[in-house]
Amino acid sequence: MTTPPMALPPIVAGVWRLHEWQFDTPALVRWIEQAMALGVTTFDHADIYGGYGVEAAFGQALAATPGLRHRLQIVTKCGIKLVSSARPAHALKSYDSSRAHVIASVENSLRALHTDHVDLLLIHRPDWLMDPDELAGTFNQFRTSGKVLHVGVSNHTVAQFAMLHRRVPLATNQIEFSALQMGALAEGTLAQAADLGLPPMIWSPLAGGRLINGHDEQSLRVRAVLEALGRERGVSAATMAYAWIRRHPSRPIPITGSGRIEALREAMAALNVSISAEDWYRVWQASMNQEVP
């Protein structure tokens, strides 16, 4: 079936640490509304976040605020099976992209989120036993029913993405990329995204906080460059880190991971920051601790 391309915003709010933020439902509603006021209208979930509890907490906020759901987009992921009291049938941490598991996961997510659809569903990790034809059929079944509007993957290699994309149109590959973690450049996942015109979603854009707070040699080298570039532009090192990611022609979409509104402001500020190719390579050189070959 033909599906219009998904319009993803330039910055997405990640809520994988929501269970650590100590927000009650009214506080979470305020945070969501503040994020949306900044222009951050898409929220990234996974069924496993918070021990299978984050979606339910977010869903309570949606249920408490009629009309809020229709003003935002929800991304969620499935395919990882954790051993958890919330999923007593899981005997072993493993991956599962079977029709039965994906359908059950989506139905659980819809109930937890108090919604009748998710805007984007991703397979969280590559399942080495994935049957691409079966998974494509499952995806199409969801899209036909309207329970899932768009589909994609996360952490998939170039070959894995291509195999599934030949069978069903994928919206994105959610991958790790930062000024401290550049595997996506060498592995070709960013090049593939640019070639296909499918912007990748980027998790851990600040390297789990190392870019801002790390004391290892790589973090210190890169942060010094980001701070210097930021001083020239009147922005923070975090904003420069987001702008550095966005400079890639695949048009990456960073996912924030903080409950601080100021962190969202820093990410959004990157939309107004330009970086020359030379400055981009200054950051690359500091990270790799060498000149380009």
Q: Report pLDDT digits (tens) over 130-175.
A: 999 999 999 999 999 999 999 999 999 999 999 999 999 999 999 9
Q: Report pLDDT digits (tens) over 31-54.
A: 999 999 999 999 999 999 999 999
Topology of 174-288 in CATH?
A: TIM Barrel (3.20.20)
Q: Which residues are catalytic?
A: 49
Tell me which residue has tokens 């397979």. Answer: 123
Q: Which pLDDT band holds residue 1 (cuts at 50, 70, 90)?
A: very low
Q: Report pLDDT digits (tens) over 86-99.
A: 999 999 999 999 99
Q: Report pLDDT digits (tens) over 212-269.
A: 999 999 999 999 999 999 999 999 999 999 999 999 999 999 999 999 999 999 999 9
Query: What is the pTM (predicted TM-score) of this model?
Result: 0.97
Mean of pLDDT over the chain: 97
The ranges assigned to domains in the chain are 8-171, 174-288
CATH of domain 8-171: 3.20.20.100
Q: Report pLDDT digits (tens) over 115-129.
A: 999 999 999 999 999
Domains 8-171 and 174-288 share a fold: yes
